[in-house]
Amino acid sequence: RNTAKEYTFRSRTALAGGLAAAGVDVVSLANNHTLDYGTKALLDTIGRLDDAGVAHAGAGADREAAEAPALLISPAGTVAVLAFTEIIPGGFAATRDHPGVNATTPDRERLLAAIAAARERADFVVVSFHWGTEYTGVATREQRRLAHRAVDAGADLVLGHHPHVIQGMELYRSHLIAYSLGDFVFDHYSRITGEAFVLQVSLPKEGPPSFTAIPVYLDEDGVPAPVSGEEAHVILDSLSSLSADLGLTLSREGDRA
């Protein structure tokens, strides 16, 4: 266990199978907790995900493995998923000969080259970033700059997380960027940190995507559930306002946007 950190997380090993049973195809391991219990625990996590048939990206036995995209075969073609973290505790970054996470720094060009290489291999490229300022609904200038550069390099969809709250969505060059989806399964102690949304996206071969935001709320045990009525509209009002600030107007249909 990393005793230098204030918060360290681990989960029951059976949950790898639980992810598969819930229909999760791929996960990001690029975050600031993946090595809370050291490299042995990271490699154990990867092995258990492999055994469960859950693809993963963003961490590995060395930098090359951490950078490698997860490749998913779908009826519409190959989907490459790359994962990076901007939040990097000391010793967490993968190196040439050391396990760790796929860091966004210090070499942005290496990051962009990895996205471009995935673009050559896959029909669709999804890029996941662990980034942003905790408990802040406004994406930073650096988040936006990095997201735009990722799209310029070949990303079809950019998904963000880490702030523990919702941030807005943006269309850049007809590509969707969701700066923070909020938490999905996590304990919390305030109304705003319990608000999140599930994002359903359909990516066409050409042109802008179609997408639906489904509001969810995490109960006192951190378990998410879709919400309706006033509860849904509170979350969608926040998402709509934050997205409008980024130039994206969301339309409503019932309890979804």
Strands 124-130 and 70-74: unpaired
pLDDT of residue 231: 97
Q: Looking at the predicted structure, is the pLDDT value of residue 55 above 90?
A: yes
pLDDT of residue 193: 96
CA dihedral defined by 30, 119, 198, 224, rounded to 10 degrees?
A: -30
Q: How confident is the model at residue 105 (pLDDT cuts 50, 70, 90)?
A: confident
pLDDT of residue 136: 97
Average pLDDT over residues 69-83: 97
Average pLDDT over residues 66-81: 97
CB-CB contact of 116 with 154 (8 Å)? yes
Q: Looking at the predicted structure, is the pLDDT value of residue 205 above 90?
A: no
pLDDT of residue 127: 98
Give 45's Cβ-side CA count (13 Å radius). 28
- CA gap 46, 59 in Å, rounded: 8
pLDDT of residue 20: 96
Instruction: Tell me which residue has tokens 């940190």.
Output: 193
pLDDT of residue 107: 83
pLDDT of residue 106: 84
Percent of the chain with pLDDT over 90: 95
Q: Looking at the predicted structure, is the pLDDT value of residue 170 above 90?
A: yes
- CA gap 100, 4 in Å, rounded: 17
Q: How confident is the model at residue 82 (pLDDT cuts 50, 70, 90)?
A: very high
Q: How confident is the model at residue 3 (pLDDT cuts 50, 70, 90)?
A: confident
Average pLDDT over residues 29-53: 97
CA-based angle 56:205:182, to the nearest 5?
A: 45
pLDDT of residue 125: 98
